[in-house]
Amino acid sequence: MAPIEDPLLLLRHSIASSGKITPTTSADSSDEVPLSKATHLVFSSPDRVAVPIDAPTRFTSTEGKAIDVRSIYFAWLNRDLTIPEYNAIAIKLNDEMAGSAAVHMFAFVERLVLFTFLEGAQEESEFIKPLPGGQDTTAGVSVSARVAGATSKAAPSSSGRAGRGTLDPRLAQIYNGERRMGDRNTVLRGIKATDFSHVRKLAAPFMTRKPGGGPSTAPGVGSTTALALNQKPARRPDPIILLSPSASALLRMSNAKSFLEGGRYAPPDASAPASMLHISRLIKDIDPSRPMRFILVEGPEQFKPEYWNRVVAVFTTGQAWQFKNYRWSNPAELFKHVLGVYLGWRGDEPPESVRVYGHRVMACSVEKWRDPGQPGAETSRWRDREVVEGIWKGIEANMRSKGWRKDAAPTSI
């Protein structure tokens, strides 16, 4: 009866000897199939050996779970990919297997140890269990001998005469006395993986903060009060409000500050061509301790791509040309991401182009403007503040839903 081969050593030997490894649908088959449909891995060198593809190996994950043959072979096939790229194709393979099996998504350290072992540059690791010492390890010995034999046979030809006759015994003795160069894995890490878990405890005071904003103290670590005195508070990005550049808009750059900050409407002044305004507003549910500064602009011409994540409201008159240079030029798509606000006269119906947007656009109305010299003109403006508070209430609810915090803006909206 042939000895049972260890899958890890089989794979390591096949890599060293450039042997063929074939995924098949049975132990007796030699037809290669996709990895998602394979049931066995067939090793052709030095003797034909078939290993069940779901068989566990001696390689364990950081959680102590034995990794199966399919996961290790799949990781080796995609060893040149980055972690995100590898995870993406691993998810695709798992979808193809439709729950019947799943490949393990290796962490960075696990991949490094696995590839170093399979390349022959490492013998021991905390992730690789040793072969059982109490039983006959003929399988492990046989494969180890084959690996050593393949290496010793390859060494004279690669280092000496490249297959042209036998190597001079004296030259072979010199080569055997040379110091062998290691690869980047053995140079940087040695023969065993270094455990850096203790660094997490040292980094905890620097990375963790209490809900109140102050630094937290990790167990076993001294107070970080002195460290907090030297740290600058995190700068919060300013939210952005886009106004309509239309000449028919009731709210323009010239009167937006007095309306949104002062609570009183006045008609826009065409002779005040401001390109940007700053207004302040205390948003209690996000930061009750300090007012937030809002940036008001009429167009996104100077926007960087990340600025769109800070847009909290768009004032519109319903004219589609306003959105031509927006990130979302389709109004229906735009108002899925950003709150829309229409400001019109009390008693007038919003235009049809605004009504079709539905609840995604807040329709507000103010009292029609009357000459302050007319009797009762000022008393009609008491409703302005009520309208302003309603607009801010909508903006605040939208900001909370998008993930605004007291020290950070959302990464996407």
Q: Check: CB of residue 66 under 8 Å from CB of residue 60.
A: yes
Look up tokens 């455990």; give the residue: 195
Beta-bridge partners for 60: 66
Query: Mean of the pLDDT values across residues 267-287?
Result: 83
Query: Mean of the pLDDT values across residues 163-173?
Result: 63
Confidence of residue 181 (pLDDT cuts 50, 70, 90): low
In sequence order, the 6+-apart residues with CB closer than 8 A to the CB of 278 are: 238, 293, 294, 295, 296
Fold of 240-402: Rossmann fold (3.40.50)
Per-residue pLDDT tens for 81-90?
888 889 899 9
What strands lie across the sheet with 49-52, from one edge to the other?
21-24, 40-43, 49-52
Q: What type of residue is 96?
A: E
- In a 10 Å sphere around its CB, with 0-12 CB exposed, 13-18 middle and 19+ buried, how is residue 119 labelled? middle
For 343, which DSSP code?
E
Per-residue pLDDT tens for 105-154?
888 888 888 888 888 877 778 888 888 764 443 344 344 444 444 444 43
d(CA 87, CA 84): 5
Q: Where are the beta strands (DSSP E) in 210-310?
A: 240-242, 277-281, 292-297
d(CA 319, CA 340): 13
Q: Where are the beta strands (DSSP E) in 298-385?
A: 311-315, 339-345, 361-366
Q: What type of residue is 74?
A: F
In sequence order, the 6+-apart residues with CB closer than 8 A to the CB of 128 are: 8, 58, 59, 60, 113, 117
d(CA 119, CA 11): 10
In sequence order, the 6+-apart residues with CB closer than 8 A to the CB of 130 are: 58, 124
Confidence of residue 205 (pLDDT cuts 50, 70, 90): confident
Q: Which pLDDT score, from 0 to 100, does residue 139 have?
A: 41
d(CA 15, CA 134): 28
Q: Which pLDDT score, from 0 to 100, does residue 396 have?
A: 93
d(CA 322, CA 89): 42
Confidence of residue 408 (pLDDT cuts 50, 70, 90): confident
Q: Which pLDDT score, from 0 to 100, does residue 167 have?
A: 62
Residue 251: closest CA among 343, 156, 324, 175: 343
Phi and psi (nearest 5°) for 203? -85, -15
d(CA 314, CA 327): 12
Confidence of residue 240 (pLDDT cuts 50, 70, 90): very high
Where exactly are the structural domains of the chain? 1-211, 240-402
Q: Which pLDDT score, from 0 to 100, does residue 296 have?
A: 93
Per-residue pLDDT tens for 341-388?
999 999 899 999 888 888 889 999 998 888 777 766 667 778 899 999
